[in-house]
Structure 1
Amino acid sequence: MNGSAPGTPAALDIQLKRGPAGLGFNIVGGVDQQFVLNDSGIYVAKIKENGAAALDGRLQEGDKILAINGHKLENLPHSAAVELFRNAGEDVQLRVQPKSQLTANGPATSRGDGDSSSSVLPLIAIGVATVILGFFVCKRLFGSRRPF
């Protein structure tokens, strides 16, 4: 019916009204930027405080967004999904598969604060790589004669 595994409860339909700051959440994923291994779906990365999604209360970080205004988000690059959200209008209908209903690819752990360590790891890796690259660039520019 909606592509869910047998026994999975139906997806949740959420109607949001775009506020001054938009819909109030960020998305990740897509065929070119998979957020979940072997899944090119679009996921809620962050709910913005006092935004439309936070005030509604049903959309949660980690939820998979299946469709927006009837447009399925399957097999789309991230940029195409972002454009659908930007052009969705003031009243937006989301079809969502809550995080608790998703099949996990890793260990079944629960994080009560909604934080996802998998979204922090790439930031840490980029930071470490930047420091290392900066070190080598400085060493190359100034040579090994100058102490740091």
Structure 2
Amino acid sequence: MSAGALAAVEEIALTRGPSGLGFNIIGGTDQDYIAHDSGIYVSSIKEKGSAAADGRLQEGDQILEVNGVKLEDLLHSAAVDLFRNAGEHVVLKVRHKVQNQQNGPLSTRSERDSEDSSLAMLAIPVLLSVAAFAIFAIVKYRQRM
């Protein structure tokens, strides 16, 4: 998260249901979700899970604490273990995703592909112009000989 972006921090209490807490996480010291950020983030919300029923937790939110235990400098598997062993009633301290903040890589593969193809489309006329000029120059050079 950038230093200038302010996001709301909220405590959310969930009760474990048949599908657990009803969300998946990504991140950790071994799995950067955001470059140079080892935080734990919500990657998806299960439709009929506890988190969806509560409605406050959203994809992209950063989970700061689970039952008062800070999620700092943890391997992904250690964070998963904390969630699994948190009990039936779980209190999460969450930093909500700032609107218009993009988590994950700075650009998606499709954005990069479209940028690359746009550059290629611009390069083709330039290359054709250079090739045409080169042929013209060779023809003129040979006429002088």
Which protein shows a greater Rg?
A: 2
> Relative to structure 1, is the Cα distance of residues 46 and 7 closer, same or farther in structure 2, using a 3 angstrom cutoff?
closer
Asked if 1:48 is matched to 2:42, the reply is no
**Matched residue count:** 107
Partner residue in 1 for 2:68? 70
Identity, % of aligned pairs?
A: 59
Match of 2:85 among 83, 87, 109: 87
Q: Which residues in structure 2 correspond to 1:1-148 (within 5 Å)?
A: 5=3, 8-100=6-98, 104=102, 106=106
Q: TM-score, normalised to structure 2's length?
A: 0.66
Is the Cα contact below 8 Å between 1:29 and 1:41 reproduced in 2?
A: yes
Partner residue in 2 for 1:122? none
Q: TM-score, normalised to structure 1's length?
A: 0.64
Q: Which amino acid in the other structure matches residue 47 of structure 1?
A: I
Unaligned runs of 5+ in 1: 108-116, 119-148
Unaligned runs of 5+ in 2: 110-145
> Relative to structure 1, is the Cα distance of residues 7 and 28 closer, same or farther in structure 2, using a 3 angstrom cutoff?
closer
Is the Cα contact below 8 Å between 1:60 and 1:98 reproduced in 2?
A: yes
Is the Cα contact below 8 Å between 2:5 and 2:98 reproduced in 1?
A: no
